[in-house]
Structure 1
Amino acid sequence: MTALSLALSACGGDSSATKSSGDNQTSGETALFGEQPLEFSFYSNYDFASPIGYGNDVSTKWLKENKKLNLVEIGSNGNASQKFGTMVASNDLPDVIMLDRGSTDYTTMQKNGMLVPLDDYYKKYPVLQKLIDPETFNMLKAEDGHIYVIPNWFDSAQNQYKNVNTGWTVNQEIYADLGKPELKTFDDLYSYLKQVKEKFPNVVPLEPGIAMNGVNMLYKLIYAGNGGNRTIWNIGDVPTFPNTETHTLESIFNDPAYLDAFKYMSQLTREGLVSPDMFTQKQEQVQEKLNSGRIAVTAISNITGLGNTANDILRAKDPNAGYDFIPFLYKSGIDPTTVNPHTYGTLGWNVVVITKKAKQPEQIFQFYDWWASEEGQRINAFGPPGLLYDKVDENGAPIDNEKAKTIKPEEKANLKIGLFNPLGSPLYYKITHFKNAQDPDHQNWGMAASEYFAKFAKLNTDQFNNMKLDPKSDAGIKEQQIKQIWQEANAKMIFAKNDEELEAVYKKLQADVMKAGYEDILAEKTKLWQSNLAQMKP
């Protein structure tokens, strides 16, 4: 952030970037996407993001040859914060950036005039505007009233095919070998993992994936199953408990499910039933374990994407192999109908912005608008026409051609369909849903899993967006301190030698965050929540 602030003070007055961008905005008629060559640089502001090798998969190769699009990928090199700060400090921004909506990186760039306003483009090219709900548009507006972002993996209140990418899955071969015992409660899970460890010593009994916000998806799912109407959303950088009756954020320590979840996960960890690398492993390592079938049960973020690849590989060798999704597990005594850990929202996950360094901002917007269309989303999900389909049905879903019916799973996996996915829209879910419905024997596993998990998504979290505090403010400084305290305590509790040690850490955690201003953070974020609720009203 220091580098970013220094850079802005150095380059904020550079009018050349602003001027050149203004010259590039709509003046007269503009060639439609695909009519003229278009090249732009793209940077994803995440540690885990890495270039896919644009042009090496069937979809991007088709885009290069048929739509004259060339994408210059910029990697984060595993340190997005440093990379972003360097780009800003040198005033050498890429044309397009994908980043968290409402993040300090976004708001700082927006307030310093570094981004292209997209209002006129939304009006001129209507695909995105028609797909995005009016209430969502209101939430996407910056303080100056303009829209600078294109939401990624957004949804629509009218869309019944929600995108949910996380849930419990089991390795079908191992599950069958152990007699397919009942897996409903956490007690069932514990007994099953003990059997796995005993009979399959080279298999990871339970895989939690990579750590995010100091914990991983496994802990979040355990928490959500330890009491009715809890969600994985509660466990963020600074965990909170939203009271939806009073619209106030309350202390997570008032919820007994919070401590119970740590005790259960710590027990699994102590007994060697969970991957010991949960805080250090990379996504590639998790994917390799999945691909080789060396995991018995998963509770992984983005299992729909990682599992889709793994299933293609495993089923190429054995049609009975792969992973199967199961209902969300819960603590004995809890009403399973109240266990709805997932949330949904129309704003999506992150956003795409076009910087004023872009020479062709309107053409770049055209691409995203086209990619959100039925044609673009079909290529996203099923590859380009002429490969596995030549025609589509009345719902826009591809009709398998002869090659699609005879292609071997490993050959299809090598096509890397879906690898390039710079934007998701409701049409993606809709087209894929109808494709799965017409061809259940060859359905997209990831989307089938997503639709299954989506049944457990009951809370709309649009109301909780844009609630990040300014890190330079008093509350923002406190939040960063509390986040650090929390992340250190999370690991200590999960790896505690016994419950007594865990409870001691838990007690100290509560005292430390209270001393650091946790209640002040709850009060500040409650104000933002209530402001969101007011903004969302028609």
Structure 2
Amino acid sequence: MRKKTWFAGSAAAALVLGTLLTGCGSDNGAAKPAEGKESASPTKEMDKPLSFSYYNFDDDWQPAPWGETVTTKWIQDNKKVLLNYVPTNGNAKQKFNAMYASGDLPDVIALGAGPELDRLISEGQLVPLDQYLDKYPNLKKSAGDKIININRSSDGKLYLLPDWYVGGDHLNGNGGYAVNRKIYKELGSPKLDTLADLESYLRTVKEKYPNVIPLEVGNPSAIKMMYSAFKENSPPFFITRMFYPEGNTLKPITEDPAFKDFMLFASKMFRNKLMTQDVFTQKTDQMIEKLSQGKVAVAIEANLSSRARVPNSKLRAQDPESGYEFIWPVHKDGLDKNKIYPNYTGREGGGKIVITKKAKDPERIFAFLDWATSDEGQAVLWFGPQGLLWDKKDENGIPIPNNKYKTMDKAELDKLHISDNMMVGNATWVDLSKVARDKQLKESERDFTTTQQVNVTWKTSMDITAFANTDPQGDSDEGIVLQAAKDIFDQGFSKMIYAKNDDEVLSILAKTNDDMKKAGFPKVIDFVQKKWQDNLKKIGGK
């Protein structure tokens, strides 16, 4: 069975206890997730039996039926809550439109930002939630004002609970640069701090290891991660959105001098065969296979801490000196290495959970969802009920694995589907809980992904929450222009990578910039500029 995931570059939920979530965040208005104390509802709402329908706008989310896992059975028996999942029938959008047209909306809908959510809000189909925030304080405690405010509608009201939001003093990220430990050691473990260091190392690899790929970039998006090396405070997010901030003004990325330098460097790496030659055509499993065979000297990819997990285990099983290890992101000479961000974090939560006006008892539903996002709720939904795989919590409120968990076969553990029904996910809580669990293990037994996240990727992520929900809708004038500009940019990007020399790169870049202007891209920039400034006011509580 598959779980719902709301991470894009982002972060994803994974099967409990074994596979890891990519999530995190930071918010000065939020309490840290682990206090060891749970916030109890001041009312008796939680004692009332509750049954409600729940629709997830995601064809890939196929949880076990409610009450058929140990986790949901415990909630059903102890919290008196029954969820009736409404299936998508393989076409979530079509099913949603049919329910909307018939006036038969479910009580609760989980979806992402987009036209469906906008429609529900603008046509008055959702219950405003501000009235419950103080009465049931767990969401305010865990998420904080910044995350709540960034999720407010244009009318100032809150209509949703964020799912997989990033609260606390924590940022997430899964990507970066990893070196093949064996090759790196054989070449004398040279300094790999700057772009010049990296290029020199890749050329040495090409010369001495002809059957090894010097730099495996995984996919075109991974190439863009190297942009972060050319300017401080410049994650690849800006290339994805095709703009960059200069002070308080947004400008086209094609006019950024750092982007020009990045494109010249990336094209040179490609034509000198220092970089993956089938980057525009290969599949993810092909990249993982190359990693597993040890045929990669350096890799960069947005989800590399997860992608390299199994290959690392396989290689180290064959040779303890082999495997992969993350290095601190490289940078252009003269830049501050601590301001180089190949990762980025949007704290707002990629998923949104709304209560429709069809719900008979919206307050009781909110009370349950607020419990779900509490430390207690997250512990139950992620690790299962107390007494099954854990009996006690540590000083930070994190469940401590018991002997049953430690001795249970991994395949049997997976069959329990402990966290299949996770909801209102607090990514920070889950991340920090898995770190706490990892620390209980010997260093050799600790999870590869978590280790790389703690050591590098979480520390090299930039907060881009201020740009949340700034894309125009696809069917709007700006949305149509945005798609046209994106097509132009994507085509120009690939042509620049394939360029035969620097002059050709610069010529293509100039034409791409001109063509995007002619397509009306400045209109999109103006749209995003206003949304960005509005978000900054929301975050500031204005």
Specify if TM > 0.5: yes
Q: 1:490 aligns with which of 472, 487, 493?
A: 493
Match in the other structure for 2:18 = none
8 Å CA contact 2:142, 2:374 repeated in 1: no
1:182 corresponds in structure 2 to 191
1:63 to 71, 78, 81: 71
Tell me the residue number matched to 1:427.
429
**Matched-pair contact (CA < 8 Å) for 2:71–2:380:** no
Aligned to 1:264: 265
1:154 counterpart (140, 156, 165)? 165
Residues 413 and 319 of structure 1, relative CA distance in 2, 3 Å threshold: farther
Q: Deviations over 1:468-496 (max 9, x none)?
A: 23445443432232122112222222233
Is the contact between residue 170 and residue 323 of structure 1 (CA under 8 Å) also seen in structure 2?
A: yes
Equivalent residue number for residue 216 of structure 1: 221
Q: Which residue of 2 aligns with 1:24?
A: none
Post-superposition offset of 1:141: 1.4
TM-score (norm 1): 0.75
Inter-CA distance 72–494: structure 2 relative to 1 (3 Å threshold): farther
Residue 327 of structure 2: aligned partner: 326
Provide the C-alpha distance between the structure 2 equivalents of 1:364 and 1:298, rounded to a whole number of angstroms: 46
In structure 1, the residue matched to 2:532 is 529
Deviates more, 1:353-362 or 1:140-149: 353-362
**Equivalent-residue separation in structure 1 for 2:265 and 2:536 (angstroms):** 35
Tell me the CA shift for residue 332 of structure 1. Answer: 3.8
Change (3 A) 1:177 1:37: farther
Structure 1 stretch 292-301 or stretch 358-367: which is displaced more? 358-367
Other-structure match for 1:50:
60
1:225 Cα deviation after fit: 0.2
Partner of 1:163: 172
Q: Using the alignment, how far apart are the partners of 1:523 and 1:64 within structure 2?
A: 47
Listed as ranges, the gaps of 5+ residues in structure 1 are 1-27
Say how many residue pairs are matched. 491
Letter in 2 for 1:183: L
Q: Deviations over 1:405-425 (max 9, x none)?
A: 566888878888777654234
SS at match of 1:154: coil
The answer to whether the 8 Å contact 1:172/1:323 transfers is yes
CA distance in 2, matches of 1:528, 1:396: 38
Residue in 2 that maps onto 1:113: 124
Q: Is the 8 A contact 2:110 2:351 kept in 1?
A: yes
Contact 2:255 2:513 in 1 (8 A): no
* Aligned match of 2:238: 234
SS of the residue 2:240 aligns to: coil
Q: CA deviation at 1:290?
A: 5.4
Structure 2 contact 294–315 (Cα < 8 Å) conserved: yes
Q: CA deviation at 1:462?
A: 2.9
Aligned-partner SS, 1:216: helix
Q: Which amino acid aligns with 2:164?
A: W
| CA-to-aligned-CA distance 1:430-486 (integer Å, 9 cap, x gap) | 4334334454624444344333323234x5433222322344544343223212211
Determine if the alignment matches structure 1 residue 125 to structure 2 residue 148: no
Cα separation, 2, equivalents of 1:331 and 1:499 = 19
SS in 2 for 1:184: coil
Structure 2 matches for 1:74-473, cutoff 5 A? 97-101=109-113, 103-156=114-167, 159-176=168-185, 178-194=187-203, 205-210=214-219, 215-219=220-224, 221-237=225-241, 239-244=242-247, 247-280=248-281, 295-308=296-309, 322-355=323-356, 365-366=366-367, 368-378=369-379, 385-386=386-387, 388-402=389-403, 422=423, 423-439=425-441, 441=443, 442-451=445-454, 452-457=456-461, 459-473=462-476
Letter in 2 for 1:130: K
Which residue identity does 1:327 align to in structure 2? W
Mean Cα deviation higher: 188-197 or 128-137: 188-197
Secondary structure in structure 1 of the residue aligned to 2:57: strand
CA contact (8 A) 2:390 2:401 kept: yes
Q: For 1:375, give the aligned amino acid.
A: E
Match of 1:505 among 497, 503, 508: 508
The whole-number CA distance in structure 1 between the counterparts of 2:227 and 2:121 is 37
In the alignment, is the contact (CA less than 8 A) between 1:482 and 1:516 conserved in 2? yes
Shift of 1:283: 5.1
1:37 CA drift (Å): 6.7
Output the CA distance in 2 between the equivalents of 1:508 and 1:314: 45
1:372 touches 1:427 (CA, 8 Å); kept in 2? no
Could you tell me how far 1:259 is from its partner in structure 2?
1.6
Which has the higher mean CA deviation after the structures are superposed, 524-533 or 339-348?
339-348
Work out whether residues 372 and 425 of structure 1, in 8 Å CA contact, stay in contact via their aligned partners in 2.
no
Aligned to 1:8: none
What's 2:55 paired with?
Answer: 41
Task: Give the TM-score, by structure 2 length.
Answer: 0.74
Structure 2 unaligned spans of 5+: 1-42, 77-81
Secondary structure of the 2:60 match is: coil
1:262 positional shift = 1.8
Paired residues of 1:229 and 1:339 also in contact (CA < 8 A) = yes
Match of 2:27 in 1: none
Residues 133 and 346 in structure 1, CA contact (< 8 A), matched pair in contact too: no
Question: Residue 511 of structure 1: CA displacement?
Answer: 0.9
Question: Secondary structure of 1:395's partner?
Answer: coil
Compared CA separation, residues 481 and 30, structure 1 to 2 (3 A): same
Q: Counterparts of 1:456 and 1:176 in 2: how far apart (Å)?
A: 24
Bigger shift: 81-90 or 201-210?
81-90
Distance 1:378 1:152, change over 3 A: same
Contact 1:163 1:454 in 2 (8 A): yes
User: Structure 1 295/350 Cα, relative in aligned 2: closer, same or farther at 3 Å?
Assistant: farther
- Equivalent residue number for residue 521 of structure 2: 518
Question: Structure 1, residues 277-315: CA drift from partner, whole Å, max 9, x if none?
Answer: 544555566556656666543322233444456556666
Calculate percent identity across the aligned residue pairs: 35
Offset at residue 222 of structure 1 (A): 0.9
Shift of residue 327 of structure 1?
Answer: 0.4
- C-alpha change, 1:443 and 1:512, in structure 2 (3 Å) is same
Aligned partner of 1:217: which letter? A
CA offsets, 1:391-411, max 9 Å, x none? 221111233434555668888
CA offset at residue 329 of structure 1? 1.1
Which is worse superposed, 191-200 or 339-348? 191-200
- 1:223 Cα offset (Å): 0.7
Displacement of 1:509 after TM fit?
Answer: 0.2
